[in-house]
Chain A
Amino acid sequence: MGFLQIASAHKAYQTPEGALVRALDDISIDVRNNEFLTLLGPSGCGKTTLLKIIAGFEDLDGGDIILEGRSLKEVPAHRRPFNTVFQNYALFPHMTISQNIGYGLDVAGVKKPDRDRRVGEALEMVGLVGYGSRRPAQLSGGQQQRVALARSLILKPRVLLLDEPLSALDRKMREAMQIELKNLQDSVGITFIFVTHDQEEALAMSDRIAVISNGRLQQLGSPTEVYDAPDNEFVANFVGTSNLFTGRIIDVDTGQGLVTMETGNGRRLCAGSRAYGLGDEVKLILRPEHLRLVDGDTPDGPCLIEGSVKDVIFVGSVVHLHVDVGFGRTAIVYHHHDRTGFRNDIEHGAHVRLAYAPDSAHLIANGRG
Chain B
Amino acid sequence: MRKFLPSFKLLSGLLNVYGLVFLTFLYMPLGLIVLYSFNANPINMAVWTGFTFDWYATIFGGAAVETTFDAAFTESPERIFEVVKNSFLVAFTAASIATIVGTATAIAIARYNFITKRFYQALLLLPMLIPDIVLGISLLIFFVGIGFELGLMTIIVGHVTFLSSYVFVVVSARLAGMDTTLEQASADLGAGPVTTFRRVTLPQIMPGVVGGFLLAFIISLDDVVITYFIAGVGSQTLPLFILAMMRRGIRPQITALAVLILLFSFVVATVGLLLRNRKP
Interface residues of A (CB under 8 A from B): 55-57, 76-79, 82-84, 86, 88, 90-94, 103-104, 107-108, 137, 151-152, 155
Contacts and interface: CB of A to CB of B under 8 A. Distances in A.
B280 A107 contact: no
B185 to A, nearest CB: 4
Contact of A78 (B191, B200, B204): B191
B182 A83 contact: no
Contacts of A77: 184, 187-188
Interface in B162-206: 179, 181-182, 184-192, 195-196, 199-200, 203-204
A94 B179 CA distance: 13
A55, A83, A93, A151: most-surrounded residue (chain B CB, <10 A)? A93
Q: Bin the interface of chain B by size.
A: 20 to 34
B6 to A, nearest CB: 47
B280 A93 contact: yes
Given A78-B192, A107-B195, A90 B187 contact: no
Contacts of A91: 185
B187 A76 contact: yes
B204 A88 contact: no
Contacts, number: 62
A229 to B, nearest CB: 36
B165 to A, nearest CB: 27
Contact of A103 (B184, B186, B279): B186
Interface of B: 179, 181-182, 184-192, 195-196, 199-200, 203-204, 279-280
Contact of B185 (A56, A84, A137): A84
Contacts of A86: 181, 184-185
A281 B161 CA distance: 74
Given A94-B204, A94-B280, A103-B186, A88 B191 contact: no
B117 to A, nearest CB: 14
B190 A92 contact: no
Given A90-B179, A107-B195, A83 B189 contact: yes
B181, B188, B192: most-surrounded residue (chain A CB, <10 A)? B188
A92 B182 contact: yes
A100 to B, nearest CB: 9
A91 B192 CA distance: 18
Given A83-B189, A84-B184, A90-B181, 13 more contacts: A56-B187, A57-B184, A57-B187, A57-B188, A77-B187, A79-B190, A82-B188, A84-B185, A84-B188, A94-B203, A94-B204, A107-B189, A151-B189
B190 A78 contact: yes
Contacts of B192: 78
B190 A104 contact: yes
B220 to A, nearest CB: 29
Nearest to A78: B187
A31 B113 CA distance: 33
12 contacts: A57-B187, A76-B187, A78-B191, A78-B192, A79-B190, A82-B188, A88-B179, A90-B179, A90-B185, A91-B185, A92-B185, A103-B199
A293 B196 CA distance: 63
Nearest to B188: A84
A78 B184 CA distance: 9
Given A90-B179, A92-B200, A93-B280, A104 B189 contact: yes
Contacts of A83: 188-189
A90, A137, A155: most-surrounded residue (chain B CB, <10 A)? A90
Contacts of B189: 78, 83, 103-104, 107, 151-152, 155
Contact of B181 (A76, A88, A104): A88
A55 B182 contact: no
A90 B280 contact: no
A90 B191 contact: no
A107 B197 CA distance: 13
A299 to B, nearest CB: 62
A273 B186 CA distance: 53
B187, B192, B196: most-surrounded residue (chain A CB, <10 A)? B187
Contacts of A79: 190
Nearest to A86: B181
A125 to B, nearest CB: 17
Closest 8 A/B residue pairs (Cβ) = A104-B189, A90-B185, A90-B181, A77-B187, A78-B187, A107-B191, A94-B280, A94-B203
Contacts of A55: 184, 188
A55 B186 CA distance: 12
A155 B185 contact: no
B190 A107 contact: yes
Contacts of B200: 92
B280 to A, nearest CB: 5
B252 to A, nearest CB: 49
Contacts of A90: 179, 181-182, 184-185
A242 B94 CA distance: 70
A28 to B, nearest CB: 24
Contacts of B279: 137
Nearest to A148: B185
A63 to B, nearest CB: 21
A84, A108, A151, A152: most-surrounded residue (chain B CB, <10 A)? A84
Nearest to A58: B184
A93 B199 CA distance: 12
A104 B279 CA distance: 24
